[in-house]
Structure 1
Amino acid sequence: MTPFENENSNDDEEIIYVSKSEIKRDAEVLKKLGVELVQLSKLEREKIPLDDSLVYAIELAQKIKKEGYRRQIQYIGKLLRSRDIDPIKQALDKLKNRHNQQVVQFHKIEKLRDQLIETGNAEAILAIYPTADRQQLRNLARLAKKELDENKPTKSAKQIFQYLKQLSETE
């Protein structure tokens, strides 16, 4: 048996080479994840599966300013390296998606409100929300149109928005 045959028999144990640049990129991704975690409120953070040491490090980062903050973010990234971050990322995505859905819903309500004020016709809203009070919508739309024409604060427009928001939450 030659020395070359011995080397070829160890091909099953392949060594995976990871470049220094790739390690740095991975560390940067974890630091960005750490920044996202630090920016969450306490209620949002409770919905994410974090252990006690990470929670403590995140709470500390929220209190620190300037250079200490940067070092704390690096420390959080280091803590994340030794953990499975997939459940954390999934929980963050779920939080972000919920926020995006709320923004889309608010834009839809604003569009309906503006259409109601402009036309005074509540039929589009009644088609979407059949339980809506037609008379109340017409009165609020008339008052909002009057406020706009007189350049007054749009109290009625805000009331229409709140009413539509309430209707969307109940259905």
Structure 2
Amino acid sequence: MELSRSEQKRRIKQLEELTEELAVLPPALLDQLPAPEEVRMLLKETADLGRDGARKRQIKHITKLLREESSDALYQFLTKRKGATLLKKKQQHELEHLRDALIEEAIAVRRKAKEQQEDLTENWSSAVAEEIAATLPAADKKELVRLAFFFAVSRNPRHSRELFRMLQAAQGEADREISRQLEQ
């Protein structure tokens, strides 16, 4: 699933917010940060900079370096130290992206079926639903496809909201499973 330019910008903005949060951590915690040494050093230098353009440039530079790395470990580290708000916000944006991708696919499939004068049923085949099921095993793929179909047919926002709630529930189940595995 290719990311739109807007989605790429949103993800970079999230990573920038993460970098801002990391920059205010004490140096002792920055030493424990699961990141390359260069990033840790740059974050320590950021603490000495004021609230002006130099700091913003430094944050953007660190963000650029972090784009090449997986940010999951950094979110987990920050969650342990400061709470889960950034991680939850990131997850919510990812769920919104998945919902939107599924809905866009349903609309495109329905439009193509109309052009070919075929009937589209609520049991259509969805590549995005397959990706969602692989990412979130607790998600009911048939129900996701059905709700996306209903939204494509009616454009009723209720179906979109229900789709998002299902994705949230599946994400919550995945989080609980990870917590159980960590406790063992």
For the aligned pair, the TM-score class normalised by the smaller chain equals 0.3 to 0.5
TM-score by length of 2: 0.42
TM-score by length of 1: 0.45
Rg larger in 1 or in 2?
A: 1
